[in-house]
Amino acid sequence: MPMPEENRKYTYADYLTWPENERWEIIDGIAYMQAAPSCSTRLYYRSYRLG
């Protein structure tokens, strides 16, 4: 997806058309690109789940 337009409200229908390899989130109609989880975040989550 190209950079979001400033004055546009995005919907779930828009979200479904975006590439799956990009991490986006829509909050109140505004699209935000999400960073991939870091290695340390994954390790923390893994150790937390393992107990």
- Token digits for 23? 């991490």
What's residue 13's pLDDT? 96
Bigger pLDDT: 39 vs 26: 26
51 vs 39, more confident: 39
State the pLDDT confidence band at 34, using cuts at 50, 70 and 90: confident
Q: Which residue has the tokens 């995005």?
A: 10
Q: Taking the complete model, does pTM exceed 0.75, yes or no?
A: no
> Per-residue confidence at 15, pLDDT binned at 50, 70, 90?
very high
CA angle 51, 36, 32 (to 5 degrees): 125
